[in-house]
């Protein structure tokens, strides 16, 4: 496959700000068509971005002979449906994270991918950002010695739309669409990064609660987990805290130092060792999904390998479902 002609299923905010323009930035790739259930949104997106075709029916986009790869950018509950439809048509898929709204759907996606011999990639783009690649390099090089434990701490105050109990809540707070609450939306990037750094998490359990009463799903989560190499870790997430409690930190503790970094507000990260504390600044590209999209395209062109696949993404859903007690 030399020229990758993409069809977008979904054209919401993520495609505007993080991913969409990147598909046209890579040589041998362009956006051929977009689809939204809303005609006005599909037409507007296509016109604003210079895309030739737009659809309101996903199957018609998938069946378009000029589309040979599909980007699924819808809420998680429909990821499995659209990914499987695309792969059954013989078309590779790039799916937004998390791979699906539950572990069982991830397994279904993997089964069809293997059966059809069609790859499925997942948008865990932070793996490919220079900021996180530098952190991984320092950990792997032994800059802070042997890793002893890793700790995730995330807290933020409620968002304005969270106060709409009884009205139209954002889809991220509707578990039948998202798979859970904000934990299911934000924790995947954190957990995927940690598994990229340290290997698959093989044991996990957690406790979740609704403390703020602003909506029905969990708003606080605590967890403990263990990686395949025996490393243990813990996590704490709160989405209804006071502004003073705002935190976005992962701490990697080694026997010769520590590394502290953020996943969502990465202006810099710090490494503390016997030489003192160093603040390290690493710039990321304007379109944050550009590095991983380039990797996906090069994989499809047969000149590279993308490691963020449905196989690598499935353990993240398994861990989240274990933490939330979904099975």
Q: 98 and 316 in contact (C-beta within 8 Å)?
A: yes
Angle at 102 between CA 104 and CA 205, to 5 degrees: 100
Q: What is the mean pLDDT of the chain?
A: 96
How much of the chain exceeds pLDDT 90, in percent? Answer: 91
What tens digit of pLDDT does each residue of 56-74 get?
A: 999 999 999 999 999 999 9
What tens digit of pLDDT does each residue of 3-27 get?
A: 999 999 999 888 887 788 899 999 9
| Per-residue pLDDT, 293 | 97
Answer left, alpha or beta for residue 325, where phi above 0 means left and psi between -120 and 50 means alpha.
Answer: left
Reported confidence tier of residue 327, pLDDT bands at 50, 70, 90 = confident
Q: 107 and 318 in contact (C-beta within 8 Å)?
A: no
Reported confidence tier of residue 107, pLDDT bands at 50, 70, 90 = very high
| Per-residue pLDDT, 168 | 82
Distance between CA atoms of residues 55 and 43, nearest Å: 8
Angle at 59 between CA 57 and CA 60, to 5 degrees: 70
For the segment 97-117, the average pLDDT, to the nearest whole number, is: 98
For the segment 226-234, the average pLDDT, to the nearest whole number, is: 98
Distance between CA atoms of residues 70 and 11, nearest Å: 12
| Per-residue pLDDT, 265 | 87
Reported confidence tier of residue 2, pLDDT bands at 50, 70, 90 = confident
Reported confidence tier of residue 165, pLDDT bands at 50, 70, 90 = confident
Is the model's pLDDT at 166 over the cut of 70? no
Residue linked to tokens 């998938």: 62
| Per-residue pLDDT, 14 | 83
| Per-residue pLDDT, 69 | 98
| Per-residue pLDDT, 164 | 82
- Please state, as a whole number, how many other Cβ atoms lie within 10 Å of the Cβ of residue 156: 19
| Per-residue pLDDT, 17 | 72
| Per-residue pLDDT, 266 | 77
């Amino acid at each position: 496959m030399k020229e990758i002609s993409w069809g977008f299923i979904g054209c919401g905010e993520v495609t505007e700000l993080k991913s969409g323009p990147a598909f046209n930035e890579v040589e041998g790739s362009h956006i051929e068509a977009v689809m939204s259930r809303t005609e006005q949104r599909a037409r507007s997106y296509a016109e604003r971005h210079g895309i030739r075709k737009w659809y309101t029916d996903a199957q018609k986009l998938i069946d378009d002979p000029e589309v040979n790869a599909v980007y699924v950018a819808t809420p998680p509950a429909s990821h499995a449906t659209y990914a499987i439809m695309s792969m059954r048509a013989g078309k590779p898929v790039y799916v937004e994270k998390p791979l699906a709204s539950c572990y069982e759907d991830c397994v279904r996606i993997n089964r069809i991918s293997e059966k059809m011999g069609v790859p499925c990639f997942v948008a865990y783009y932070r793996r490919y950002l220079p900021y996180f690649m530098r952190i991984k390099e320092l950990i792997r090089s032994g800059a802070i010695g042997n890793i002893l434990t890793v700790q995730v701490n995330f807290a933020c105050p409620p968002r304005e739309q969270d106060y709409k109990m009884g009205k139209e809540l954002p889809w991220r707070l509707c578990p039948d669409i998202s798979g859970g609450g904000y934990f299911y939306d934000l924790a995947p990037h954190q957990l995927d990064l940690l598994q990229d750094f340290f290997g698959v998490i093989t044991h996990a359990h957690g406790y979740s609660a609704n403390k703020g009463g602003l909506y029905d799903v969990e708003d606080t989560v605590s967890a403990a987990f263990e990686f395949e190499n025996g490393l243990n870790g813990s996590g704490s997430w709160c989405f209804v805290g006071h502004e003073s409690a705002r935190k976005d930190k992962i701490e990697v503790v080694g026997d010769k130092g520590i590394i502290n970094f953020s996943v969502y507000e990465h202006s810099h990260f710090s490494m503390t060792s016997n030489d003192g504390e160093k603040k390290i600044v690493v710039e990321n590209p304007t379109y944050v999904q550009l590095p991983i999209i380039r990797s996906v395209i090069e994989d499809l062109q047969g000149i590279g390998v993308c490691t963020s696949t449905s196989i690598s993404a499935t353990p993240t859903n398994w861990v989240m479902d274990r933490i939330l007690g979904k099975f």
